[in-house]
Amino acid sequence: MGLRFLVAIAVITCGVAHVGYAASPAKTPPTERTEFSAPEIPPPPVFWKTYPTGDQALDYYPDTALDQEIPGSATLECRWDEKGRITNCDILKEAPDGYGFGDATRRLLMVYGTVELEKTTKLPPEKRTIKIRYHWTLEGDGIVDGMIIIKPTLANAAPYYPAALMTGDTAGIVSLWCHWKSEGGKDEVTGCDLWREFPKNKGFGQATIKLRKDKTRIYSTYIDEDLREGTFPVFFLWYLPEPGEFD
């Protein structure tokens, strides 16, 4: 009797255990919720009522840069008041540094820049901002693919004169195709290929390549520091200047 009781208990226990296992609801992994972020809405366009002309900008061209015929660029974030007048600007970037292109742009826009309120969306004061990239160039200068390229001239080429120029040949003409790279705030000319030279085999081509490598300066006008690469042409005329020509 005692043995049967023990066996019965064992069977019931096993049965309960089995039923309990079979009856347990299957556990399903929690569903992962994907977070969706709303797309960024671009700021409404800002329309200009008045904008500085080239003649007006010339009066604000930084003196040192003007004397050296150096082009430049500045990126600013400006604000305007209830009458559309530019009230202040923060300088985000300027190139080349040290010439005052940022401050010149700020003063120029605060005098001659006015927002067209009838066409521009009405915004609260804290959102009345516009980002502006302004280029300063003189005739003959240029900005290639957003890069300011300052090229050396014959005035600072004396140490690079090829021997042929000093021993009889009166002039030389060279064409190069140069490569530039901008990344992480570093802007540089990475190399130049000789395209044409006249007269040939007189050293004018190699002299120009060395001059460009040592003396060319390049500056990005972009706010970000992403990788950018490109090319630009170079034309250079070699001749012996008259005494005092560059004084």
Q: What's the pLDDT score for residue 39?
A: 55
pLDDT at 7: 30
> Is 122 or 10 the better-scoring residue by pLDDT?
122
pLDDT at 235: 86
As a whole number, mean pLDDT of residues 78-103 equals: 92
**In the predicted model, is pLDDT for residue 91 greater than 80?**
yes
CATH numbers and ranges of domains, the chain: 48-136 (3.30.2420.10), 143-239 (3.30.2420)
pLDDT at 4: 34
User: Does 179 score more than 80 pLDDT?
Assistant: yes
Examine the pLDDT at 81 and tell me if it is beyond 50.
Answer: yes
Cis peptide before 96 (omega within 30 of 0): yes
- Assign 3-class secondary structure to the chain: CHHHHHHHHHHHHHHHHHHHHHHCCCCCCCCCCCCCCCCCCCCCCCCEEECCCHHHHHCCCCHHHHHCCCCEEEEEEEEECCCCEEEEEEEEEEECCCCCHHHHHHHHHHHHCEECCCCCCCCCHHHCEEEEEEEECCCCCCEECCEEEECCCHHHCHHHCCHHHHCCCCEEEEEEEEEEEEECCEEEEEEEEEEEEECCCCCHHHHHHHHHHHHCEEEECCCCCCCEEEEEEEEEEEECCCCCCCC
% of residues, the chain, pLDDT over 90: 21
pLDDT of residue 3: 35
Q: What is the band of 71 on the pLDDT scale with cuts at 50, 70, 90?
A: confident
Mean pLDDT of 210-229: 81
- Measured CA to CA, the distance from residue 14 to residue 5 in angstroms comes to 14
CA distances from 9 to 2, 5, 18, 20, 21 (A): 11, 6, 14, 16, 18
What was the pLDDT predicted at 9?
28
Residue 228, strand partner residues: 182
Dig out the tokens for 88 from the structure. 């202040």
Indicate whether 89 pLDDT > 90.
yes
Task: Give tens-digit pLDDT for 187-204.
Answer: 888 889 999 999 888 889
What is the pTM for the complete model shown?
0.54
- pLDDT computed for residue 27 by the predictor: 52
The answer to whether the beta carbons of residues 46 and 120 sit under 8 Å apart is yes
Residue-level pLDDT at 113 = 92
More confidently predicted of 108 and 120: 108
Mean pLDDT, rounded, for 80-91:
92
Tell me: cis bond preceding 199? Omega within 30 of 0 counts. Answer: yes
pLDDT in tens, 11-70: 222 322 222 333 444 555 555 555 555 555 555 677 888 988 888 888 999 999 888 878
Residue 170: what residue type?
Answer: T
pLDDT digits (tens, 9 = 90+) for 98-117: 999 999 999 999 999 999 88
